[in-house]
Amino acid sequence: MSYATGLLLLLVCAYETHAQLLTGNRYQARVVTEDRYRVQGILTNVTATHVHIDDEQVPLVTVRKIIIRRANRRGAALNGAIIGGLTTGFLSIRSNQKSRFQSPILFGLSLTMTAAIGAGAGALAGYAIGPINRRVIRPIVAAPNEVAENLRRQLDPFTSRSQQDVLNRVQP
């Protein structure tokens, strides 16, 4: 195994280890009610009658729509930087195998610059793509007593409480 292949394998393993950390997702929610009142914050819990955004409670029967997106959008930029740096670094190594540099210093400088440019481009792409992931939840038109239950069922997987319950079941 060559030095470059070993380095690439080490970086991929480090990325996979980073990706497998058991942390729950936190979701940022923006609630718009029928009377145009807006609440924004972390979606912490949803009960049979209210949705809890940080320390505020909004009755489910008054909700017009809820926009949900991940609270930690920097993760997409970090993932993009890692993938971009690894990809361009690998392509630089493959390119060097076809036409060798005369000096190992030039090879190291070329590899470093190429990986840094790829990481920067990947971070920008990840940051631009990250905020696109959002979900709009609206109450399904039904009987008034079913609207709250319908919203509760749609929102429950995104709450901090539900995320922690899932993590508690996974951890030994």
Distance CA 77, CA 119 (A): 10
Residue 122 lies in a domain: yes
Indicate if 35 and 66 belong to the same structural domain. yes
Give the domain extent around 83: 73-130
What does the DSSP 8-state code read for residue 54? T
How does pLDDT run across 111-140, given as a tens digit for each residue?
899 999 999 999 888 888 776 677 898 888
Q: What is the CATH number of the domain that holds 47?
A: 2.30.30
66 DSSP β-pair partners: 31, 137
Residue 5 lies in a domain: no
Indicate if 85 and 115 belong to the same structural domain. yes
Report yes or no on whether pTM surpasses 0.75. no
Whether 67 and 136 have beta carbons less than 8 Å apart is answered as yes
Question: Quick one: tokens of 143?
Answer: 């009987």
How does pLDDT run across 27-82, given as a tens digit for each residue?
889 999 999 899 999 888 898 888 999 889 999 888 999 999 876 666 778 888 99
Distance CA 61, CA 63 (A): 6
What's the mean pLDDT in 97-114? 84
Residue 41 lies in a domain: yes
Indicate if 49 and 60 belong to the same structural domain. yes
Indicate if 64 and 148 belong to the same structural domain. yes
